[in-house]
A and B are shown apart, each in its own frame.
Chain A
Amino acid sequence: MQQIFLFLYRLRAILLFLALELLAGGIIFTHNSPQGAVFFNSSNKLVGNMLSVKNNFLSYFSLYSTNQALAEKNAYLLNRLDSLSPVLDSAVLSVDTVLSKNFEFWSARVVNNSIHLNQNYITLNKGAKDGIQEGMGVFNELGVVGRVKGTSNNFSTVISLLNTDLLISSKIKETEVFGSTKWDGLKSNEAKLLYVPRHVQIVPGQEIITSGYNAVFPEGISIGKIKAVNPGSETNYLDITISLSVDFSKLNFIYLVKNDSREELDSLEIEMETAGP
């Protein structure tokens, strides 16, 4: 018996090495699942606070461009508001608001961001306390940014569009052709549009927007523009490169969107799937 213990003691370095590597592997595996606990990352309180102090300093350097972008978005929204407000010289028929109100919006600030790895995440300075929930869509005035992965009380973690695990349901604005946008891990300003059949006519310069099909984003938020089209190696689909409209290296203020009818949509889909064709 003593010899066994002695033997194990002599192997302690290797055993500890294996144990620690397994532990690290386990953490990597659980962390990279699309949904997961977020306590143990930059969303926890201490790390989040330290990062937001750092961000308080750094955000001064980009104030000018941030303000400009926000002012442009304001002007655009004012124009929309103007065209939507009813003309007073005619009778107004108000539609039931239960039908029209589908999306709710929040705003938040980015406190941590990375763009150079293959699995990139963003940390926001709002969390469950402010009403942020898992699965909400994230975008800014230029276009789609990502999807909320999980929340803690004061912070939330977002899977960046620059993450090879995230698919976003999208379509080509002009022709209404559907596909999925996915980052290929190469450049931080380019992504791929997948699952577009070969017979579709595509011209570089056409705009890609969200389709509104997966109910994370409302329809029509910009994703990017088609940059190049190649026949690709797959037999059925085209290889389409898009240049993203969001500059991920300069993320500062973002908006979050929640689809109120999402649960209903999801449960309906599950019902349909279990019921069969």
Chain B
Amino acid sequence: MTSGKIIKYSLSFVLYFLIQVFILKDLVLFGYAFCFLYVFFLLNLPHELPTVPLMLIGFFMGILIDLFYDSLGLHAASAVLLGFLRNPWIQVNTPTGGYDDNVPPTLLNMGMGWYLFYSIPLILIHHLLFFYIDILGTELYLPLVIRVLSSMAFTFLLGIIVQAVFYKKERVI
């Protein structure tokens, strides 16, 4: 990875983090639909990135967000799980002809159909773990399902919009 890319991803790390804790934290639709936009930072990291650094980045991002959410460990645990499952899931979804080097798995690079199939299950698992830990000790399973599904829809929708507006298609050589 070139130093230019490292700077680019560090900047996007900070941006995703700031937007998450200062804007999206207070944006909860109908009391159920949360938006955890930062998962798209983890999803859009280059597919060459091994699982070990991916999980460490996820843990670091999660713990930073937890500090502001006062939910210490919840985001960290969910983001580590997401980081652990991402690369195997990318392998499963290999398109015919394989992946091109230096082309991160974003919406514009891979197309809507592939991206939907790639991101929805990972977001679902992330949200399921997050809200499951949150309700531990109570028996609020119906609100859990509503929260997970509505948050997944909200997160995905906003993630798609952000990528359509702010991301650009990488040149395939």
Contact = CB atoms under 8 A, between A and B. Distances in A.
A191 to B, nearest CB: 13
Given A31-B73, A42-B67, A186-B140, A20 B55 contact: yes
A28 B133 contact: yes
8 contacts: A13-B51, A13-B55, A31-B72, A41-B70, A119-B71, A120-B70, A164-B138, A187-B31
A42 B68 contact: yes
B170 interface: no
Contacts of A121: 70
Interface string A18-37: 00110111111001000000
A187 B70 CA distance: 20
Nearest to A157: B70
A44 interface: yes
Given A16-B55, A21-B77, A42-B67, A28 B72 contact: yes
A129 interface: no
A114 B72 CA distance: 13
Nearest to B80: A20
A24 B66 CA distance: 11
Give the 4 A-B CB pairs with smallest separation, nearest first.
A28-B73, A24-B77, A27-B73, A31-B72
A164 B72 contact: no
A25 B20 CA distance: 22
Contact of B84 (A17, A40, A41, A157): A17
Q: Summarize A's interface: helix, strand, loop or mixed.
A: mixed
Q: Summarize B's interface: helix, strand, loop or mixed.
A: helix
**A12, A25, A117 pick with most chain B CB within 10 angstroms:** A117
A42 B32 CA distance: 23
Given A51-B68, A164-B138, 19 more contacts: A13-B50, A17-B84, A20-B55, A20-B80, A23-B59, A27-B63, A28-B77, A40-B72, A41-B72, A42-B68, A50-B68, A54-B22, A112-B70, A114-B69, A114-B70, A116-B32, A118-B135, A119-B134, A123-B70
A25 B67 contact: no
B90 to A, nearest CB: 14
Contacts of A123: 70
B131 to A, nearest CB: 9
A25 B50 CA distance: 24
